[in-house]
Structure 1
């Protein structure tokens, strides 16, 4: 049989603290419709969920360029989050690398 050998104590994966807590209550009996006065107990259930992928965030960098009046050198302003080449940010590149090498997904 799969799993641990007989005689071992059961072991479960520990759950992280919840990000949100929702009280699930009921006002009346689903069978007869009589109203409940108060709860007689709580049965907690932790549910882990992976959120839907976020929509892409597109940022337009208006990189101003300048020409020096003294020497004529042309300069384009730089921003640390704006790549010098290409149109993908560092998070897109990191996710691509993770998908390819960690999750073994193809590029296409």
Structure 2
């Protein structure tokens, strides 16, 4: 989680982080990603529609528009390994740019 947090907070000086019982929210004027920590994985939900993803890795991303989950976002990114961090940050950055529009 710490590496992801550092990378997300480095995207811009306007980012605010807030903690809830079930997830961690990152926002500017609007939320752009929520993170649900689990024992061995992090589930990140970005405010990008499945069709808006700049790139898809169907092993770790899925469309969750019709699936209930805590937080916000239409696309889930499941981080189970540090090697997936760069891919996840690219999607989170796209969501951050969209939230700033």
Fold equivalence (TM over 0.5): no
Q: Pick the structure with more strand per residue.
A: 2
Larger radius of gyration: 1
Q: TM-score, normalised on structure 1?
A: 0.16
Q: Pick the structure with more helix per residue.
A: 2
Q: TM-score, normalised on structure 2?
A: 0.17
1 or 2 for the larger relative contact order (CA 8 Å, sep ≥6)? Answer: 2
